[in-house]
Homo-oligomer: A and B are copies of this chain.
Amino acid sequence: MEKEEKKNITIADVAEALGVSRTTVSRAISGKGRIGKETRDRVLAYIEEHDYKPNVIAKGLAQSKTYNLCVVMPGEYDVVDLAFFQECLFGIQEIAGMMEYDLLLSICKSNDISPLERIVANRKVDGVLLMRTFVKDTQIEFLLEKELPFVTIGSSDYEGVVSVDHNHRSACRELTSIILMKQMNKIALIGGDEGYMVNRSRLGGFKEAHEKMGRKSDDALLFLNLDNNIMVDKKVDEILNQGADCILCMDDAVCSRVLKKLREKHVKVPDDIRVASFYNSTVLENNVPTITSLSFDAKEIGMVACRLLLDMIEGLTVEQKTLLSYEVVLKESTE
A86 and B93: CB pair below 8 A? no
Nearest B residue to A65 via CB reads: B57
Q: A77-101, CB under 8 A of B: which get 1 and which 0?
A: 1100011011101100100010000
- The answer to whether A105 touches B107 (Cβ under 8 A) is no
Residues 35-66 of A, flagged 1 when their CB comes within 8 A of B and 0 if not, give 00000000000000000010111101100001
Contact B286 A264 (CB under 8 A): no
- Point out the residue from B71, B77, B287 that lies within 8 Å of A260, measured CB to CB: B287
Copies in the complex: 2
| Contact status A77-B83, CB under 8 Å | yes
Q: Which residues of B contact A257 (CB under 8 A)?
A: 286
Residue in A60, A102, A104 with the greatest tally of chain B CB atoms within 10 Å: A102
Instruction: Tell me if A75 counts as interface (CB < 8 A to partner B).
Output: yes
A53 and B90 alpha carbons, distance in the complex (Å): 32
Mark out the residues of chain A between 113 and 128 whose CB falls within 8 Å of any chain B CB in the assembled complex: 115, 118-119, 121-124
Q: Are A61 and B71 in contact, with the CB atoms below 8 A?
A: no
Residues of B within 8 A of A87 (CB): 77
* CB-based contact B122/A102 at 8 Å: yes
| Chain B residues with CB under 8 A of A55 | 123
Query: Which residue on B lies nearest to A75, using beta carbons?
Result: B90
Residue A282, interface by CB 8 Å = yes
6 CB contacts below 8 A, A to B, read A53-B122, A57-B124, A61-B61, A73-B86, A78-B83, A82-B83
